[in-house]
Amino acid sequence: MIDTAFHQELRQSVRSICKKYPDAYWRELDERRAYPEDFVNELSQTGFLGALIPEEYGGSGLSVTEASIIMEEINRSGGNAGACHAQMYTMGTLLRHGSEEQKRKYLPKIADGSLRLQAFGVTEPNTGSDTTQLKTMAVRKGDKYIVNGQKVFISRTEYSDLMILLVRTTPLDQVKKRTEGLSVLLVDLREAVGNGITIRPIRTMMNHATTELFIENLEVSVDNLIGEEGKGFSYILDGMNVERILIASECLGDGYWFVDRATQYANQRVVFKRPIGQNQGIQFPIAQSYIHLEAANLMRFRAAELFDAGLPCGKEANMAKLLAADASWEAANATIQTHGGFGFAEEYDIERKFRETRLYQVAPISTNLILSYVAEHVLGLPRSY
């Protein structure tokens, strides 16, 4: 895919905002484990984080292709789109499966940034990637659900007004298929925290505002059920292809950033009276990283193109995420090696981005699960789990 004139304009617009938030901004946030409040606010106010919300609900009405370009450019500038991508795509469950009343109530405020929907409560301590086994239970009593359970690695809960929460509404031993009996609730965290939800921050190797949630007798109105009871698993899966594509785009942004930094340093750094970039031992890893990034980039655009056309794209979205995550990690290692000891110094920002891009080998879906998906659903091999 070749960028259209609009895509080039979109890239320039995002870059112009990112220039206001240089390396020092992200470095200082990383040191304090702080949230990029100013950056998120500006992206919200300029409409970028409402990119996927239709114009009728106050959004920009852009395609997934264009949303992926926004995410790529944030990371390519040296920033971290982790605080942005959830606000962009988490609302998809509400958009595709919510009632018209729910959409009119929430989407315009999510689009203009006055309401943040950034938290996505799925993963649990004892179930991990096996979502069908989750234990958080919601029991209906009159016009409310009473929710009890625990969630882990739920990012940005402290900075979100709303949360998409996947719960079990029918016990596992009472369903015919393991994918049945799960439901999606929209939780107002402004009311729930301290009244049924306790948040415990988890300090991780990257600044992702990750938390653990303890849920005890949380009351959620039946009006906050998204779609039909018991069909929540399919609703969550429905949005995962978008997530894969956007995360792949962030990995690409990281990868191109690494290649740029490695190339610049290799041209400038002189050892033994010659630039180190003259040595094939330095050249080849950078060049190979770039080649792999370009290939992953094509798969990203192919997946986005299929999604935007309303066609099946599970294979392509998963492969794009795996290829981009691998290429980014390869570029990160090449850049550390090129910089030598300076690659570990905070002032160069390499070690910060190194830590950030390592996440995508594991989340939001591990590369192993993508390989299992392709093996089973594309190649027809026996199910491995």
Q: What are the distances in angstroms from CA 156 to CA 85, 109, 296?
A: 11, 18, 28
> Measured between alpha carbons, how far is 180 from 14 in angstroms, rounded to an integer?
41
Phi, psi (degrees; rounded to nearest 5) at 99: -75, 165
Q: What are the distances in angstroms from CA 235 to CA 92, 185, 228, 351, 369?
A: 9, 11, 10, 37, 20
191 is catalytic: no
Contact at 8 Å (CB) between 199 and 157?
A: yes
> Strands 162-168, 210-221: parallel, antiparallel or unpaired by DSSP?
unpaired
List the beta bridge partners of residue 149. 215
> Measured between alpha carbons, how far is 68 from 145 in angstroms, rounded to an integer?
36
> What is the helix (H) or strand (E) element at residue 137, kind and residue range?
strand 137-141
> Measured between alpha carbons, how far is 220 from 223 in angstroms, rounded to an integer?
8
> What is the helix (H) or strand (E) element at residue 219, kind and residue range?
strand 210-221
Reading the block at residue 32, the tokens are 């304090």
- Single out the residue of 185, 145, 181 nearest to residue 163, CA to CA: 185
> Measured between alpha carbons, how far is 360 from 358 in angstroms, rounded to an integer?
5
Q: Which among 229, 243, 351, 356 is annotated as catalytic?
A: 243
Enumerate the active-site residues.
243
